[in-house]
A and B are shown apart, each in its own frame.
Chain A
Amino acid sequence: MKKGLSKGLLLATAALICAVPSWALQGAKVNMDLPQLEESADEVVEVNLEGETLEQGSKLLAIRQGVSNSVKGLLSGLKGIYRRTYRFGLGKSYETSTVSEFEQKMAGGGWSSVIKAEDKKKNESVAIYSYRKAEDGEAGVTVVSRDSSEVTVVNIVGDVDIEALVEFGMQMSNGPSINLATSELENKPVELPTPEEK
């Protein structure tokens, strides 16, 4: 009887574990691996920065010229940076429901939607989520963006200064251009004023 009970208990526990979705949230750190997109994507960019690697990268970046104090403060508060970009070539597409399901899980996992902008004509969207746990102060920001040829998810763990983050992002927009839908950088030709305009 006791053996049967313990076996049953083990089986029940195993069933419970299997029933839990494989996609799991670890606080502010999000599991961004989307196997359905990875299988069909032509290119996958994966970035995982944490621990000593992140610390070394942050130190190097903080000493570069042009990095403001607010950005330095942003760098010092980071605990993890994760990115997945799935790119699809011409003629290839992906299921937008995959991204929608991911965003729904974000909402159900303690993440608050801060901004969501969608352009249905162009089939583009950007959503920003924020996470904060009052008990231990764990915090994070996740950006989910997609267009017809690319899906990008960026998860930042730590106390993120959004304004500093935007400031850092704008530093790129003042030089090489980057549009909403893609992370490909395009160098714009510099237009010098003509003597007449002066």
Chain B
Amino acid sequence: MDPFERSLREQLARREPSEGFTANVMDQIRALEEDETQTVIELPRPSLLARWRWAAAGALAASMALTFAVRENSRRSQQAAAERAEAELAETLQLAGFKIHQARERVWGPLDDAAEEGEIK
């Protein structure tokens, strides 16, 4: 065996741990676990201001949605009212116009017939 190999064997040879090594490692593990727990416990709570901000944002969103819904409902109501007015207007005007036409025909006769007979008055 050459000196290098011998040196390597010596370096990699098993060494027995020192006294209390295992206890030391377990202590360190326990300490780490306690730190994590403490870290979890010690996280700060959301501030009152942050909570109010969220509440305000929610209220604002709700009011905007409500405003939109009210406006949309109002727009639809106005549209429906306008369409009803249009229908009533059309019916009433046509009724009046037709009655005037029929009254004229009764008084003067149909214009086509009168024209043929040359008796337009």
Residues of A within 8 A of B (CB): 47, 49, 53-54, 56-61, 74-75, 81, 83, 115-117, 119, 126-128, 141, 143, 145, 152, 154, 156, 162, 165-173, 178-180, 183
14 residue pairs from A and B, CB less than 8 Å apart: A47-B88, A53-B85, A56-B78, A60-B85, A81-B92, A115-B103, A117-B102, A126-B103, A126-B106, A162-B100, A168-B97, A172-B94, A178-B98, A179-B102
Structural contact, A54 and B89, CB atoms closer than 8 A:
yes
Residues of A within 8 A of B85 (CB): 49, 53-54, 56-57, 60
Residues of B within 8 A of A (CB): 78, 81-90, 92-104, 106-107
Beyond A57-B89, A60-B83, A61-B90, whether A172 also contacts B98 by CB under 8 A is: yes
How many A-B residue pairs have C-beta atoms within 8 angstroms? Tell me: 113
Chain B contact residues, majority secondary structure: helix
Residues of B within 8 A of A75 (CB): 89
Beyond A53-B85, A117-B106, whether A169 also contacts B101 by CB under 8 A is: yes
Structural contact, A126 and B92, CB atoms closer than 8 A:
no
Structural contact, B94 and A83, CB atoms closer than 8 A:
no
A24–B103 Cα distance when bound, in Å, is 27
User: Nearest Cβ in chain B — how far from A28, in angstroms?
Assistant: 14
